[in-house]
Amino acid sequence: MDWIPFAEGRYGIERAFLVRRAAPVGVALEEAVLEVAEGRGGRRTLSGRGRLRPLLLVELLEEADELDLWLDLGEGFKYRLPAPRIQSGKVFSPGTSSFLQFLPSRPWEPVGDPEFESFVSGLRLLAEPPPRP
């Protein structure tokens, strides 16, 4: 059974969070987009991208290697993508964003709206320190 419930196309993601699996600490992705394409044998494939500050990703990975991606595609369409394969730009200038691309390593898990909101309300988002004067 195909686990991707969307037709081929590009979908805006309302909210996306890359999160440490062991603790509710994460980084928000900006301008996140999900792409569904038809792959070999007519099976749908999923990929996506979003912008973030690479220094925050480095900080996130300093404490844990196991990350999950929480995705909000609108009411009734919320998912946890366990252990996505990620690639990010290598720009480390403070305040500079780069694109992060993600691919599933296994099917995502649907999450109910209340569960998603509860998770997000307990999430601590990493932020860059203010610039020094």
* Backbone φ and ψ of 69, nearest 5°: -115, 120
25-37 mean pLDDT: 96
pLDDT over 80 (residue 64): no
Query: Which pLDDT belongs to residue 96?
Result: 75
Q: What is the pLDDT of residues 88-116, one digit of tens each?
A: 766 656 667 889 999 999 999 999 999 99
Collapse the DSSP code of 5 into the 3-class scheme (helix H, G, I; strand E, B; otherwise coil) and give the result. Answer: coil
Query: Which pLDDT belongs to residue 1?
Result: 38
Q: What does the H/E/C string look like for 56-120?
A: HHHHHHHHCCCEEEEEECCCCCEEEEECCEEEECCCCCCCCCEEEEEECCCCCEEECHHHHHHHH
pLDDT over 70 (residue 27): yes
Residue 4, C-beta contacts closer than 8 angstroms, at least 6 positions apart: 36, 44, 45, 46
Q: Taking all residues of the chain, what is their mean pLDDT, rounded to a whole number?
A: 89
pLDDT over 90 (residue 87): no
30-56 mean pLDDT: 91
Query: Which pLDDT belongs to residue 129?
Result: 59
R_g of the chain, CA atoms, integer Å: 15
Q: Would you state the torsion angle of the CA atoms of residues 24, 26, 32, 34, taken in this order, to the nearest 10 degrees?
A: -50
